[in-house]
Each structure stands twice: as C-alpha cells, then as structure tokens.
Amino acid sequence: MSQEAVGSEYYSKSDPVSVVPLGEYDEVGARNALIELLRPIGGLDFVKEGMTVIIKANLVSAMKPDEAATTHPVLLSALCDLLKEKGAGQIIIGDSPGGLYNAQHLGKVYRVTGMHDCEAHGATLNEDFSQSEAHFPEAKICNTFTYTTYLDKADVIINFCKLKSHGMMAMSCAAKNIFGVVPGVIKPEYHYRFPSYEDFADMLLDLDEYFHPTLSIADAVVGMEGNGPTAGVPKRMGALLASRSPHTLDMAAARLIGYEPLEIPTVEAAYRRGLVPERIEELTIHGDLDALLVPDFEKVVERRSLGFWGTSKNPIKNFLGRIVEKILETRPVLKKDMCVGCGVCANICPAKAIVIKDGKAIIDRKKCIRCFCCQEFCPKSAMKVKRTFIASLFHSKK
C-alpha cells in the first residue's frame, strides 16, 4: 500500500478541542467540569437510549490512582453518571495492560487502580478476555492485528486517557491510549513489527481509525512527567481536555506540556494524514489553554534519532547519518542498584535483547530496538531512558 496519507473517515483537522480547569479529584467538581468540558463539542448527544458504551481507560499497570499512571476512578465515575442520565444501557470499562490478559491479572489491576469504585455508578468492568483478529485493508501500515474482543460489544467507544510522558513516543495521550486494544502479552510483537517511531505512530493511527472512538477525553488533572509512562513522577496540571478527534486533542495536550505539537510522533503522523493543522494557532480551542500551560514539565529525554538521514541517495550522507544517529540516540539503561533480577524486562523484550545474569539485567545493544518496553514495564523502575553524553551536550546547548 502507498505510504501517502490515507486521510480519515471519522476525524478532521477542524475538530475542535475543549479544555477546562480542574484542580482536584472530587466527585462534584469532576461532574461539573465534565459537563462544562463537553458542552462546546456537543456533549453526550450521541448517546442513545439503551446503547452499550465502552470506556477505554488507561489501566497500564496495577498502580494506585495517586501514582498518576492510570485514568482516575473519580473522573470515570462522573462520566458513568452522565452516561446513565443520557440513557446508556450498559457501560463497560476496559483495557489490556502489559502482562497476561486474563481474569487474575486484570482483577488485580481493577482492584489497585480503583476501578471497582465505578461499579457503584453503573459501570461494568470487562470480564471477557477473548481475542479476535482484525483485517483492515484500508490501513496505512497495520493491515492485520489482534484485539480484545469485548470491544465488539460497543455501540460507541469513549477513549478516556491519561496525559503522561512516554519513553518511546514522548507523550502518551489519546492516540497512544488505543494501543490498549492489543492484548498485553502481544504488545511487544507490535514494537518488533514497527520498530521505528514513524511506523509505530502510523500503526497507532491505524488502530484509532479502525476503532474510531466517538469521543476522547484526557485526564490531565494530575499527569505524569519524567520517566513515564509508569516510572515517572506525578505532576499537577489541573486540566481536562476533550475532542471528537484524538489527534486534535493530542495536539493541544502537547502544547499544554511544552512540546511543539509536531515533535510528538503521533501528532506528526496525524499531520501527514491531514488530521491536524500544521500550527497550534490554527486549531479551534474552546477554553483558555494558555492559562493552563505547564512551563516546568519534565519531558522524556530527546528520543528521536536522525535515522532519516540514512534514506538519502548520497552514500556519504547516509554514512554520516548513521554515525550521528548512534551518537545522539537515546537508549534504555539499567540502574543496577534498583534491579532485583525479576526477569520482567527479559520476558517482555520483543527483540530478546535482555538476559538476566548474576541477578541483574544485561542489555545486548546490538539487538536493542529502543522500544523502551523494558522501561515501561519494569516493576522496580530500574530501567531509565538515557541520552548519550554528546547528545546531552547538544540538548543543553539547544
């Protein structure tokens, strides 16, 4: 298939974004903020009597709500109340975090992340752990994939993500959240199938296009900065964002935490497909985004290589490009004093680049594809995203 932009049947660069302040996770405040947030973009008018609504939350790991890695249950509960009031028949909350996609693992995730609180507000937690195969010939890059079958029950999908830094993709927000449709143990295969940032971003956009959530909402009340998406530090942002399009939402979210939007691979991929404007000033935003900017947000270190130099027809430029790529590329690095030799990183590594020796993880740099799965899923936060010394000098000067 051609690698030209495929466009979208569901989203447009003119899809507006709404943003409202919310300083705390309290039930009354969350309800009022969601009503105010959704009003400018049509509210929940798409909800029809008796329909099944699936809320695709971010439940990346069994982490407590105050660790800021997962969608907060107070916000999900408030949304469930509003959906019930609009006549929704069944509301299912689900995700497939890293690890086994089964009742035992998800049961622990639901318990620790506070999802059972949502049941008192009309939600059902997904207990269907079957998998299905999708064939998507219209996709740009991901024509076949495995997904969690419970999504087939949806009349509509609401994508309720968490705004976080991300070791591979710089930012985890609406577009990235849909990767949770892929069963946890299979996720590393997709890192191996799509190892470059550009291809991985296009794969994510193909998933967004296939499932086309009707509404995307970002929990940016307390997000995560630094070594995200699981080993970073909670960061108070005080905002909620929403859009019919996950891509325009991500463009605004990138601005919120101090990125030029096209620095984010998924936003750049959306721009190539004509799904977001080139400049944030061209985006229609309801609410005062500039008043909520987070000027001191600790970003993941620069992770994108200059690999595109290697596509030149000039062999000298290709050679120099490969040298520069090695000099400037970021990589996962082990903090030995934090490693307990549990083997999670070795088991999840799609390139089989990690072994456990003498109770510590060892990374084979020749095999490493820099997907940062080890950093994302290390239970002890022993894997860190690091830049080379020369790249650090370059970054400080920049």
Residue ranges of domains in the chain, CATH in brackets? 17-292 (3.40.50.11440), 307-397 (3.30.70.20)
Distances (CA, A) of 249 to 61, 68, 217, 296: 24, 19, 8, 21
User: Per the confidence metrics, is the pTM higher than 0.85?
Assistant: no
Query: Any idea how long the chain is?
Result: 398
The helix-helix angle for 315-328 and 389-397 (nearest 10°) equals 90
User: Could you say which DSSP state residue 299 is in?
Assistant: P
Check residues 330 and 136 and name the one with the higher pLDDT. 136
Classify each residue of 139-158 as buried b or exposed e, where b means 16 or more C-beta atoms within 10 Å of its C-beta. Answer: bbbbeebbbbebbeebbbbb
Confidence (pLDDT) at 394 = 42
Query: What are 222-232's pLDDT values in tens digits?
Result: 999 998 899 89
Q: Is 85 helix (H, G, I), strand (E, B) or coil?
A: helix
Confidence (pLDDT) at 255 = 97
Compute the mean pLDDT over every residue in the chain, rounded to the nearest whole number: 88
**Start-to-end CA span in the chain (Å):** 38
Confidence (pLDDT) at 64 = 97
Confidence (pLDDT) at 227 = 87
Q: Pairing between strand 52-57 and 90-94? A: parallel
Q: Is 82 helix (H, G, I), strand (E, B) or coil?
A: helix
Instruction: Report the amino acid identity of residue 252.
Output: A
Q: Lowest mean pLDDT of 23-37, 222-236, 251-265, 311-325, name the range.
A: 311-325
The set of residues, in sequence order, having a beta carbon less than 8 Å from that of 384 and lying 6+ positions away, is 227, 231, 332, 333, 334, 335, 375
Q: Lowest mean pLDDT of 113-122, 240-249, 292-301, name the range.
A: 292-301
pLDDT category of residue 392 using cuts at 50, 70 and 90: very low
Q: Answer for the pair 179, 78: CB distance below 8 angstroms, yes or no.
A: no
Assigned token pair, 298: 């600790």
d(CA 235, CA 221): 8
Is a pLDDT exceeding 70 seen at residue 342?
yes
Is a pLDDT exceeding 90 seen at residue 141?
yes
Confidence (pLDDT) at 378 = 83
d(CA 357, CA 97): 27
pLDDT category of residue 165 using cuts at 50, 70 and 90: very high
